[in-house]
Structures are given as structure tokens and as C-alpha cells.
Amino acid sequence: MSNFPNNTAARLIQIAEAEIGYVETFDNLTKYGETMKANGLPWCGSFVNWCGKKAKVKIPNTVSTVAGSNAFKKLEKWSTSAPSPGWIAYFDFPDDNVNRISHVGIVVKDLGKGWCETIEGNTSGAGSQRNGGEVMRKKRQYSKGGSIVGFGRPDFKESE
């Protein structure tokens, strides 16, 4: 498999896809958290930043999902419209009793009708969606009633 050029959405997604199936060693201990100096903390944001570092894509520090989303907003790189590949999806799950952005992932593609495919760290199939311990590919809703509240738009190199 050939590598896509650094600082492109394709490279960011390629790196994230290679991590699918990774499981934390114990209670939020991961290579992602270690790299971001946040080991032992929920690691969805550390995963996103780790992928960004490997792909040479500049992503604001999103270990704190609230701070990461606010950084994109401050940079005027925030969107609530249909996402493009490589955008950073921010979540507020309606049923988790945490009334704020509490999870983050990488958009793989827009599936249409208000849904997109993502790759997320620290999620699960049937358990906690924001602290589940595994890197997974997910189908998520961004239209009204969905868990995605907005997207950060990294600056990618023009040609992919």
C-alpha cells in the first residue's frame, strides 16, 4: 500500500484506518495518550492528535474536546454542514448525562442524508461511545437529532 502525501486528508484517514482494532492496554492507557502526555485520561482526542502528528496535519490540541472545538471556532474553521473527508467531528451524545462536547473522531466520508462515516478512538460497539477503549469505524448522524454537533476543518495541502 502506498502512502498518500503528508498534510492531506487522505493521509490522515490512511493513518487512522491503520489503527482500527487497537484496544487500550488498561484503563485509558494508550500509545496515543502517552504521545500527548495525557495517558490515563479518556483518549479520543489524543487519538485524533496522534493521527494528525503522524500525517503532518495541524490539528488544535483536542485532548480536551471542548478546548479543541473552541480552538477551531476561534480559527473560524468550524462547520455544522455536510463534512468533507478528514474533518474532525465533535460529539455530544444525548443520552450520556454529559451536557457538552465529550467525544471526537475523524470523518472518513459523508454518507448523505445527514450521516457520515468516522474513525474514532476510545469508543465501542455496544458500550460507552465516548470511553469504550477501542479504535473503530462508525456511522454517525450529524443532522438534527444526531450526536455530532459540528466539525473542525484542518488546513490540508491543496492537492491530494
pLDDT in tens, 23-34: 999 999 999 999
Report, as an integer, the average pLDDT of 10-32.
Answer: 97
pLDDT digits (tens, 9 = 90+) for 39-65: 999 999 999 999 999 999 999 999 999
Portion of the chain with pLDDT greater than 70, in percent: 97
Is the pLDDT score of 102 beyond 80?
yes
Residue 27 cell numbers, joined: 484503563
pLDDT tens, residue by residue, 110-145: 999 999 999 999 999 988 898 999 999 999 999 988
Q: Is the pLDDT of residue 98 over 90?
A: no
Round to whole Å and give the CA distance between 28 and 47.
Answer: 11
CATH 3.90.1720 fits 9-152, yes or no: yes
Domain range annotation of the chain: 9-152
Report the phi/psi class of residue 74: left, alpha or beta, with left for phi > 0 and alpha for psi in -120 to 50. Answer: alpha
Predicted pLDDT at 96 = 82
- Nearest 5°: the CA angle 137, 143, 144 is 130
In this predicted structure, the answer to whether residue 3 has a pLDDT above a threshold of 90 is no
